[in-house]
Amino acid sequence: MDADETLDATGLSCPMPVVETKQATDDLVVGDVLEVRATDPGSVSDLAGWADGTAGVELLDQTEDGDVYTHYVRRTER
Residue 19 designated active-site:
no
The structure's pTM equals: 0.95
Q: How far apart are the first and last CA of the chain?
A: 23
Catalytic residue chosen out of the listed positions 3, 12, 14, 60: 14
Strand pairing category for 33-38 and 57-65: unpaired
Model confidence at 78: pLDDT above 90: no
Q: What is the pLDDT of residues 28-53, one digit of tens each?
A: 999 999 999 999 999 999 999 999 99
